[in-house]
Amino acid sequence: MQNTSDLIVILGTGGTIAGTAVDASDNVGYSAAQLGVAQLVAAIPMLAARRLETEQVAQLDSKDMDFATWQRLAERVATHLARPEVAGIVITHGTDTLEETAYFLQRVLAPSKPVVITAAMRPATALLSDGPQNLLDATVVALQSFVGGVLVVLGGAIIDAQQVRKVHSYRLNAFAPAEGGHVGVVEEGQVRWLSRPLLPLLPLIPLMPLMPAFGLARIARSVDAWPRVEILFNHVGCDGAVVRALLAQGVDGLVVAGTGNGSLSSGLEAALRQAQAQGVMILRSTRCDAGPVSASETALPSAGALSPVKARVEMLLTLLGSSD
């Protein structure tokens, strides 16, 4: 008799993993989001014996990921996770904004079953296409995971949604945890868990004892009514003119990627304080690849150890929540 909860649902959203090029040696001149998720699965013989369902939620290059697709994706993930027969979800995605989607889904759903996002750095037609192995590995992780939460699987590495960052524009192992280590690795169809807190074989524990789920209902409003949150940088010669331009246009929140430990040029800080005085929410992150921004009573609010793009997700949710 079949295990009652061994079904994996694979949701397709596009990306290079579903991309095709005219020439197999062309790793960059391809079109993303050309193949359906069912075609990606059908190309992997090892998945033929698995209990799988596929659903095409979107078909886009993830540089164009948008709030409406996030809403739909979160709703489809939640719907499938609520089915008792579903052990976990796999999502195929583009690599470019994968870390934002991973963090968004973790914060909105805080799933108690595994939601595994995978992608590829080479199109499906490439000589060395990494998509099929990544999709197979992601399916293995969704089946073997005893932890809930959003995980990212690429190049045999498992990284959690909080830590994951795209750190390289071209190479196959383009993702790394910002700090700390990998959650685990996938080797020949077996998951080897590395993260110390995960070693006791507890049944589905939440991977990130972070914050409770923000909740689907609170992101359900029309995306036209979502807050406008922009990201800007401190840099040499930064005078805050961008902040003033955004204020003139209308903006609800600003995440600033400061230098080092979130430092800001005098001109940028003055402009941000002016924006804050006008009711714009401000968070200070860092343009460094990793590390926290220290909080201080005298400085603008810190985003902690969140990267600018994840701080932006956090701010979007805070602003959505405050206007409930």
Asked if 108 is part of the footprint of ligand SIN (rule: CB under 6 A), the reply reads no
Instruction: Using CB under 6 A, pick the residue from 87, 119, 143, 313 that binds ligand SIN.
Output: 119
Instruction: Using CB under 6 A, pick the residue from 9, 12, 15, 313 that binds ligand SIN.
Output: 15
Tell me the residue type at 29: G
Catalytic residue among 4, 13, 16, 298: 16
Contact (CB, 8 A) for 16 and 123 = yes
The nearest distance, CB 32 to ligand SIN, in angstroms, is: 4
Whichever of 96 and 314 has its CB closer to ligand SIN, that residue is: 96
Asked if 94 is part of the footprint of ligand SIN (rule: CB under 6 A), the reply reads yes
Closest CA to 150 of 118, 190, 172: 118
Asked if 159 is part of the footprint of ligand SIN (rule: CB under 6 A), the reply reads no
Asked if 234 is part of the footprint of ligand SIN (rule: CB under 6 A), the reply reads no
> Judging by beta carbons within 10 Å of its beta carbon (0-12, 13-18, 19+), is residue 217 exposed, middle or buried?
exposed
- Looking at 8-16, 37-45, 68-76, 258-266, which segment touches ligand SIN (CB under 6 A)? 8-16
Q: What is the DSSP string of 229-298?
A: EEEEE--TT--SHHHHHHHHH--SEEEEEEBTTTB--HHHHHHHHHHHHTT-EEEEEESSSS------TT
Whichever of 120 and 238 has its CB closer to ligand SIN, that residue is: 120
- Assess whether 16 carries a catalytic annotation: yes
Q: How far apart are CA 193 and CA 244, in angstroms?
A: 48
Residues carrying an active site annotation:
16
Instruction: List residues near ligand SIN by CB under 6 A.
Output: 14-16, 32, 61-63, 94-96, 119, 121
